[in-house]
Amino acid sequence: MKHLLLSSYLKHLEIISCEVCNFFDFEVSAVSNNSLNVKDNSVFVAVKGTETDGHKYINDAIARGARAVFHNQEIQKQSGVSYIRVEDSYYAYALLCEKYFDEPSKKLKLIGITGTNGKTTSAYLLKSVLESLGKKVGLLSTVEYSFGDRVISAQRTTPEAFELQTVFHKMVEADCEYCVMEVSSHALDQRRIGSARFDGVIFTNLSGDHLDYHKDMKSYFLAKERLFTEYLKKAGKAVTNCDDPYGKNLGVTTFGLSDISDYNIIPSRDLFSRCMDGIINSGETFILSPHLLGLYNSYNVAGVFALLSELGFNKQKVAHALSEKISVPGRLERICGRKNILYFVDYAHSDDALRRVLTALRELKPKKLISVFGCGGNRDKTKRPRMGKISAELADFTIVTSDNPRKEVPSEIIKDILEGIRITGVPPVNEKEDIHGRACPLPESARDARGTGKYNVIEDRRRAIFEAVRMAEEKDIVLIAGKGHEDYQEIMGVRYPFSDKEVLKKAINEVEGLRS
């Protein structure tokens, strides 16, 4: 990177209030919010995070060579160091990072997707359609970041500020014209994307998630809304799901099943092969046959069609491109077996997402629908019983297991899930006691045709997946939910190799081999 003077960075930060002390100019060699990455002539930004406070490491950063410190608290100052006090350290950090990389987002056409569910599918659809129309596209998604021929596994939906600007810069270097990105509520709340402005944005839906961070649904929505009110270019285009109670209030172009929508979805007459039959816009019908299952995916397709249409792309060409087969890793991804049993892996990790996926699979009229899921640790606890209740109501049999427990005890997470299952009156496999040893007598009416219970707890995720495959019979559907594309399981801060897809494939091969 070209080394700019500190004064150049401060000029870029004129959009925020800065209180400067001990100013002297120098060529900045690096920008960091981690003191371990500081080198001579660096700028260090002290950011208070959820687990640690960067202000504690200011002296360490100075000892390593920082000559300017950005902060938002009262601190002791040393001679020979410039101090810049700001109201929002992370926003300042984001602006500094983008200046360090020469504001690469200004050289890209940005398309953003926000919402609780559907972001990744929408992002992959957008990338695929734009590429089919001859555009070079970079991708920032929950699954991966890609630019040119390079693909990097994603650590989070929207990367932290320095990594985000690094990827923008790589996209410019790879001659990308467009960047399609998922924009998380955390990124918007923290202003992680700096001064980037979007050419087009989509709102998919909003349901209970991340309330450990946002605390309530209003705050969660207000964070999402920023993409439309603060980060959209004046001439930018925006579309929203008008069937969503939050989306309908954004006051932009709409899509949905409702007759009042600008882009009206025509529901599918063949749920086994496609999620919709077309879209009506301004009295004109466009035929679409997307190779995706579930009504919820018709909203993802409609959002993409609506936005690209509003951006001026040929609607017939967009409809044709959306009717091609487009793979989205870990999103209702079918895993093939030799028997007449359908197996799916999906990232559904909220109650609304699980409801949508199970509803879609229920519409395929399986003989039995088996659901395997858990909940992540150190995340929104309120959704755990809701997910348990939904699985108990929509699946014929539920196996509750471990997801990414992180630093929580898996059995405690499972207890929270079971609270929701018990509300439904659905019985466990053991007719005498449940997983915690409590008496649980079952009336005859509560048993299924084989006289067994309706759910089981198998904490070991690998064992749970194998058990689901073992109990599946002809014309059944098995759903492994929660982790989707992920290739790890995080336990006590360590990520161990684990892929639902690979474990499921192995289980199918072993179990079906024994049945042959």
Please tell me the predicted confidence (pLDDT) of residue 436: 41
Please tell me the predicted confidence (pLDDT) of residue 516: 54
Q: Look up residue 196 and give its two tokens.
A: 């980037």
Instruction: Report the SS3 class of residue 260.
Output: coil
CA 68 to mean position of chain CA atoms:
35
Ordered mean pLDDT values, 10 residues apiece, the chain (516 residues): 90 92 96 96 94 94 97 94 96 97 98 96 98 98 94 90 97 98 94 96 88 84 95 98 96 96 95 91 96 94 98 98 94 87 95 94 94 96 96 96 96 97 89 41 36 82 97 95 96 96 96 73
User: How far apart, in whole angstroms, are the C-alpha atoms of residue 11 and residue 342?
Assistant: 59
Beta bridge partners of 456: 399
In 412-466 the beta strands, taken as DSSP E runs, fall at: 455-457
Do the beta carbons of residue 32 and residue 3 sit within 8 Å?
Answer: no
Nearest to 70 by CA among 46, 106, 53, 102: 46
Please tell me the predicted confidence (pLDDT) of residue 212: 77
Instruction: Report the SS3 class of residue 54.
Output: helix
User: What are the phi and psi torsion angles at 286 (to 5°)?
Assistant: -115, 120
DSSP per residue, 217-257: HHHHHHHHHHHHHTSEEEEEEEEEETTSTTGGGS-SEEEES
User: How far apart, in whole angstroms, are the C-alpha atoms of residue 146 and residue 139?
Assistant: 5
Please tell me the predicted confidence (pLDDT) of residue 337: 83
Own/partner pairs for 242-250, CB < 8 Å, 24+ apart?
243/299, 244/203, 244/204, 244/205, 244/206, 245/206, 246/203, 246/205, 246/206, 246/221, 247/115, 247/203, 247/204, 247/205, 247/206, 250/203, 250/225
Q: Alpha carbon of 461 to those of 177, 209, 302, 405, 500: distances in Å?
A: 42, 23, 35, 11, 9
Nearest to 382 by CA among 247, 246, 244, 213: 213
User: How far apart, in whole angstroms, are the C-alpha atoms of residue 10 and residue 86?
Assistant: 11
Beta bridge partners of 335: 343
User: How far apart, in whole angstroms, are the C-alpha atoms of residue 463 and residue 479?
Assistant: 15
Please tell me the predicted confidence (pLDDT) of residue 433: 39
Q: Which of left, alpha, beta for 466 (phi over 0: left; psi -120 to 50: alpha)?
A: alpha
Q: What is the largest CA-CA distance in the chain?
A: 81
Rg (alpha carbons) of the chain, rounded to whole number: 25
Edge-to-edge order in the sheet of strand 82-86: 18-21, 82-86, 66-71, 42-45, 30-32
Domains, the chain, with CATH or none: 6-100 (3.40.1390.10), 104-322 (3.40.1190.10), 333-515 (3.90.190.20)
> pTM here?
0.88
Please tell me the predicted confidence (pLDDT) of residue 444: 36
Please tell me the predicted confidence (pLDDT) of residue 336: 87
